[in-house]
């Protein structure tokens, strides 16, 4: 008996896509706007930049640890409950961050609690769910969801900077915290997979309930752990995320250090977010046609070159040019992580496997910003950090041709 496709109503996959887009916008907007708060926290607590750099680093690590559980939970029970819980803790952590009076509270409320919340509601849960609802245009669908990350960066960084300038950094976090509770509402719209409501995936063709497409069979997590491809993929993204988060968390502070006005410096993140959107959609769509590997190599090499450019950037126009090109490159490879994971290991256990791959975000995301902070504290310059980041991006690109679909059976 074939599952009937509902023609009169829009495919429910588009509802899933819209809800996931909103969740990505709010969670990653919060995460990538931390750089706007860095110098404010430095003045408030009289910490060195090296010490403050551990706050987002630990946050990303906790996010990825809890993302492993969220991926496993999504595979078994669907995304609705885990994403709703994540939305609650994200908002609560930000509200509590607005009330900190001691440095240790910043680690507990922002690093741990917000990390837990975003780990539960972003990354593996939403990307796994969207992957199951779209087949032929999966790269485009994932690119649209990932463009929410870009829009979140466009909106959140200048909003946070405005609230800081008009009121205080505490008020800024309080307002943003309340706003993120919208995630709880978006979570109610999520459903595990099309078969649960008797419809086909978008672009899925004909299939029976008892004979799912071969791609859904996939590898289990234990099988994937025994493959060379998984470990190469993790190493690749450790290098990539280390360089990425060096820039996202330290670019604004770097610009302010060389005399660029605070509001102008904050707009660099907005430009990165803006140009990442066409990168996510166009490159995601192109990868459906020419393959994931060539476009991933192109995007990583583009970012490596621009990190070298950043070393010599001393004026506003040079920073804007960096932000435009860097943003497009970053936007291009971001949606390819779940897409290439699906191609290598299948969809049935993708949540668990993607959660493990996303753990590279925690390792690279902790190491990159912390290393940049320590280098700045020791040398009063970010030049060495940008050079190390560029080398890491280049090494990541060189790993991609080594990725092969694991043999099974």
Domains of the chain: 12-194+217-402 (1.20.1250.20)
Alpha carbon of 14 to those of 18, 19, 141, 144, 403: distances in Å? 6, 9, 9, 11, 31
The pTM score is 0.75
Higher pLDDT, residue 402 or 405:
402
Nearest to 162 by CA among 277, 33, 59: 33
Q: Can you tell me the distance from the alpha carbon of 130 to that of 201, in angstroms, rounded to the nearest whole number?
A: 10
Residue 111, CB-side half-sphere exposure with 13 Å CA sphere? 18
Q: What band does 128 get if pLDDT is binned at 50, 70 and 90? A: confident
Q: Residue 202: what pLDDT?
A: 55
208: β partners: 2, 211
Q: Can you tell me the distance from the alpha carbon of 256 to that of 209, in angstroms, rounded to the nearest whole number?
A: 58
Q: Which of 215-219, 224-228, 277-281 has the lowest mean pLDDT?
A: 215-219
pLDDT at 200 over 60: no
Neighbours of 7 (CB within 10 A): 7
Q: Can you tell me the distance from the alpha carbon of 214 to that of 212, in angstroms, rounded to the nearest whole number?
A: 6
pLDDT at 209 over 50: no
- Tokens for 240, please give them: 């990539």
Q: Can you tell me the distance from the alpha carbon of 303 to that of 305, in angstroms, rounded to the nearest whole number?
A: 5
Q: Residue 187: what pLDDT?
A: 93
pLDDT at 331 over 70: yes
Q: Residue 1: what pLDDT?
A: 42
Q: Which residues contact 367 (CB under 8 A, 6 or more apart)?
A: 57, 238, 242
For 38-69, write each residue's pLDDT tens digit.
Answer: 888 888 888 888 888 888 888 988 988 898 88
CB distance 368 to 391 below 8 Å: no
Q: Which of 22-36, 210-224, 254-268, 332-346 has the lowest mean pLDDT?
A: 210-224
Q: Can you tell me the distance from the alpha carbon of 279 to that of 336, in angstroms, rounded to the nearest whole number?
A: 11
pLDDT at 222 over 90: no
For 67-97, write each residue's pLDDT tens digit.
Answer: 888 888 888 888 889 999 999 999 999 999 9
- The whole-number average pLDDT for the span 261-280 is 87
Percent share of the chain, pLDDT over 70: 91
CB distance 29 to 156 below 8 Å: yes
């Amino acid at each position: 008996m074939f599952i009937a496709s509902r023609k009169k109503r829009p495919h429910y996959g588009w509802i899933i896509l819209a809800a996931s887009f909103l969740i990505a916008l709010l969670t990653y907007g919060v995460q990538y706007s931390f750089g706007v708060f860095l110098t404010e926290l430095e003045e408030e607590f009289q910490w060195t930049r090296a010490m403050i750099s551990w706050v987002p680093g630990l946050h990303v690590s906790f996010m990825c640890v809890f993302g492993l559980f969220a991926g496993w939970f999504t595979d078994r029970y669907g995304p609705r409950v885990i994403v709703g819980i994540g939305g609650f803790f994200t908002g609560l952590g930000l509200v509590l961050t607005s009330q900190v009076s001691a440095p240790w509270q910043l680690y507990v409320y922002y690093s741990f609690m917000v990390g837990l919340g975003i780990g539960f509601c972003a990354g593996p849960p939403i990307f796994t769910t969207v992957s199951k609802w779209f087949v032929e245009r999966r790269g485009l669908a994932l690119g649209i969801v990932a463009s929410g990350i870009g829009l979140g960066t466009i909106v959140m960084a200048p909003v946070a900077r405005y609230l800081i300038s008009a009121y205080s950094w505490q008020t800024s976090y309080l307002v943003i915290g309340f706003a993120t509770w919208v995630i709880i509402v978006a979570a109610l719209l999520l459903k595990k997979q099309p078969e649960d409501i008797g419809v086909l995936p978008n672009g899925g063709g004909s299939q029976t309930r008892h004979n799912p497409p071969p791609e859904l069979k996939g590898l289990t997590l234990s099988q994937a752990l025994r493959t060379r491809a998984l470990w190469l993929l993790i190493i690749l993204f450790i290098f990539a995320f280390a360089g990425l988060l060096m820039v996202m968390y330290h670019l604004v502070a770097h610009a302010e250090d060389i005399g660029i006005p605070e509001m102008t410096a904050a707009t660099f993140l907005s430009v990165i977010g803006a140009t990442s959107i066409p990168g996510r959609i166009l490159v995601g769509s192109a990868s459906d046609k020419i393959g994931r590997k060539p476009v991933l190599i192109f995007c990583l090499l583009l970012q490596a070159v621009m990190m070298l450019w950043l070393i010599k950037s001393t004026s506003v126009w040079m920073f804007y040019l960096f932000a435009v090109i860097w943003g497009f490159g970053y936007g291009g490879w971001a949606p390819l992580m779940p897409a290439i994971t699906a191609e290598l290991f299948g969809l049935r256990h993708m949540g668990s496997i993607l959660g493990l791959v996303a753990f590279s975000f925690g390792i690279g995301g902790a190491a990159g910003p912390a290393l940049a902070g320590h280098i700045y504290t020791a040398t009063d310059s970010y030049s060495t950090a940008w050079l190390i980041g560029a080398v890491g991006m280049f090494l990541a690109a060189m790993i991609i041709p080594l990725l092969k679909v694991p043999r099974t059976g």
